[in-house]
Amino acid sequence: MRPRDFVINERFNGDEQFWSKSDVAQMLVKRREHIDSRKSNLVMGGYGNIDLSSPGTFFIAFCSKQEIAPTWSFWSLPCLKYDHAIVMALWLNSTFALFNLLKNRTEVRGTNVKWRKKDIENLPVPDLNKMSVKEITLAKTLLKKLNKMNFPCLIDQLETSYIGRLKIDLYFAKILKMKITEEEIIRLQKDLGSRLRKMQKMMQRD
């Protein structure tokens, strides 16, 4: 199991070494308020730097039934309900969203990028209020299937048109009534994969 991130929000015996301020009680009150303000069912990388070509980068966004408070590497994106978080996590991991995110990224170095608040706010997203119960159910079913798949890293997903990624893109192409064929989706995936490779090579030359 990978190590987890921990945050201290209560006093305990022998904890003096962790505090740099004398008014620990008040600091903990503010810390708990801050943690609560960060809780959501949907989180997205890119608040801090994210390397899109890293072998350890598989997805950009994640959803959770239980609200979580992510570290400052992630954006916390509140949703009205978990079903909405599922759709948005799928969307943010789609090739269509990635296309827009790459176009509006804040470049750090090569494929190391981040996104500012305005970039997230301006990202086109599906109108959740106009989605039917059937479309939401299809999203939930799709997520269950994807959770059983062994995804390669993001850049490999794009270069090989990995079936899991293709399923996400075809789902949104259908419910959003996009005039795009499967072949055109595959071409878009490969184009983005090629773009990431070029960005990666530029980073390696620095």
Looking at residue 2, the DSSP 8-state letter turns out to be P
Q: How far is 68 from 90, CA to CA, in rounded Å?
A: 18
pLDDT exceeds cutoff 90 at 157? yes
Average pLDDT value over all residues in the chain: 90
Q: How far is 173 from 155, CA to CA, in rounded Å?
A: 21
Check residues 201 and 50 and name the one with the higher pLDDT. Answer: 50
Give me the phi and psi of 109, to 5 degrees please.
-170, 110
The per-residue pLDDT for 2 is 59
For residue 38, give the nearest of 73, 3, 84 by alpha carbon. 73
Average pLDDT on 63-71 reads 90
> What ranges do the domains of the chain cover?
39-205
42, amino acid identity: L
**Among 45-49, 103-107, 126-130, 174-178, which is the least confidently predicted range?**
103-107
